[in-house]
């Protein structure tokens, strides 16, 4: 499948076949890494890593993934650039596009990453914006595939802050590839109506379902329970309000048991506030695949760069 030259901004831009291809490629690259096989598909490429928000997994994954395929990754802190302040995004994009072969952007406004892609002339990869976090659900899907052996027909339930970037991207990913997906959250934290309706159409085409509810019974039959922090970066002032709203949606042992399956696994995109969105007991349990998914960020992000920029 040819994705050469494509930007990776949101999963709505990709077909189900393209998403599955990236997951399969990530699995292949992971196996090679285990055997000590390094690639050179990005040899002599220069990659810019722009970070306006702090990052552990995304930054490390892009840096190591680039290096292991032969590229040089240059970290650019948002505070050190003229991005959208003294210089327009368009002009910054045109400068960086003449110096770098690919650009990763992690920040706030999704329009910034869209503008970078529009004007740079090189592949641009979204490392997280306020609306989307498209690299994360690829790691979720690789984790699911490794654990269950397949994706289509599984059921994933996301609980807590149902309108954040992780929930948005996970709902799109599941709907596209035929995974039943449910969002269980207080109504104030539901995803936007247009996105739910879009995902319902995608799921219908894939033979799966999308459910948004404020009830916990949607966890019944779930193969994975998933959560994220109840307030995202930049929303710390809303902490007390979010805790009040979301505390009934905490993932604990009793909720895991409500799935009715002893094979249900748990995951989280990290960082986690243990004792809030998930109990320490579940987080540290045998069912927890949190750190499998964290590692899989590396392999899926490497796959994105190889597929869109690699030789």
Q: Is 271 annotated as a binding residue?
A: no
How many CB atoms within 10 Å of residue 261? Answer: 15
Q: Is 227 annotated as a binding residue?
A: no
Q: Is 82 annotated as a binding residue?
A: yes
Task: Please measure the distance between the N-terminal and C-terminal CA atoms of the chain and give it in whole angstroms.
Answer: 13
The torsion angles phi and psi of 127, rounded to 5 degrees, stand at -85, -5
Q: Which one of 6, 110, 119, 136 is the catalytic residue? A: 136
Known catalytic residue: 6?
no
Q: Is 56 annotated as a binding residue?
A: yes
Q: Is 232 annotated as a binding residue?
A: yes
Q: Is 233 annotated as a binding residue?
A: yes
Q: Is 228 annotated as a binding residue?
A: yes
Q: Is 211 annotated as a binding residue?
A: no
Q: Is 106 annotated as a binding residue?
A: yes
Known catalytic residue: 163?
no
Q: Which one of 119, 242, 268, 297 is the catalytic residue? A: 297
Distance of CA 206 to the CA centre of its chain: 20
Q: Which one of 131, 161, 199, 269 is the catalytic residue? A: 269
In sign, the C-alpha dihedral spanning 4, 64, 226, 233 is negative
Say if residues 181 and 175 touch (Cβ distance below 8 Å): yes
Is the previous residue joined to 271 through a cis bond, with omega within 30 degrees of 0? yes
The secondary structure of 155-211 as a DSSP string is EEEEES-TTSHHHHHHHHHHHHHT-EEEEE--GGGPPPHHHHHHHHHHHHHHT--EE
Q: How far apart are CA 199 and CA 178, in angstroms?
A: 11
**What is the arrangement of strands in the sheet containing 72-77, beginning at the earlier edge strand?**
72-77, 46-51, 102-106, 124-128
Q: Which one of 106, 119, 242, 299 is the catalytic residue? A: 106
Q: Is 136 annotated as a binding residue?
A: yes
Q: Is 164 annotated as a binding residue?
A: no
Q: Is 135 annotated as a binding residue?
A: yes
Q: How far apart are CA 290 and CA 296, in angstroms?
A: 10
Q: How far apart are CA 49 and CA 102, in angstroms?
A: 9
Known catalytic residue: 44?
no
Q: Which one of 6, 110, 119, 133 is the catalytic residue? A: 133
Q: Is 297 annotated as a binding residue?
A: yes
In eight-state DSSP terms, residue 83 is: B
Q: Is 184 annotated as a binding residue?
A: no
Q: Which one of 131, 228, 268, 299 is the catalytic residue? A: 228
Q: Is 199 annotated as a binding residue?
A: no
What are the catalytic residues?
A: 106, 133, 136, 228, 269, 297
Binding region for L-ornithine: 165, 228, 232-233
Binding region for carbamoyl phosphate: 55-58, 82, 106, 133-136, 269-270, 297
Binding region: 55-58, 82, 106, 133-136, 165, 228, 232-233, 269-270, 297
């Amino acid at each position: 499948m040819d994705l050469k030259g494509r930007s990776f901004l949101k999963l709505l831009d990709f077909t189900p076949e393209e998403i599955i291809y990236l997951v399969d490629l990530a699995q292949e690259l992971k196996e090679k890494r285990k055997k000590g096989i390094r690639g050179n598909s990005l040899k002599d490429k220069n990659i810019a890593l722009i970070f306006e928000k702090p990052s552990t997994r995304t930054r490390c994954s892009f840096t190591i993934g680039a290096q292991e395929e032969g590229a040089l990754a240059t970290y650019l802190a948002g505070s050190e650039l003229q991005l959208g302040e003294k210089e327009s995004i368009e002009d910054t994009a045109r400068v960086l596009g003449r110096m770098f072969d690919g650009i990763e952007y992690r920040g706030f406004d999704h329009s910034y990453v869209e503008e970078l892609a529009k004007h740079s002339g090189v592949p641009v990869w979204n490392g997280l914006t306020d609306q989307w976090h498209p690299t994360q659900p690829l790691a979720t899907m690789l984790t699911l595939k490794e654990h269950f052996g397949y994706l289509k027909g599984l059921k994933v339930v996301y609980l807590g802050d149902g309108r954040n970037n992780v929930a948005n991207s996970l709902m799109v990913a599941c709907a596209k590839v035929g995974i039943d997906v449910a969002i269980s959250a207080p109504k104030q934290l539901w995803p936007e109506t247009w996105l739910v309706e879009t995902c319902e159409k995608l799921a219908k085409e894939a033979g799966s379902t999308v459910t948004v509810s404020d009830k916990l019974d949607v966890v019944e039959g779930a193969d994975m329970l998933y959560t994220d922090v109840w307030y995202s970066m930049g929303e710390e002032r809303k902490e007390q309000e979010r805790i009040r709203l979301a505390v009934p949606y905490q993932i604990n042992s009793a909720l895991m048991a409500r799935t009715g399956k002893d094979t249900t696994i748990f995951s989280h995109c990290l960082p986690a506030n243990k004792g809030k969105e998930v109990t320490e007991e579940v987080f540290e349990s045998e069912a927890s695949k949190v750190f499998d998914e964290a590692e899989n960020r590396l392999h899926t992000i490497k796959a994105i760069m190889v597929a869109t920029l690699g030789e």
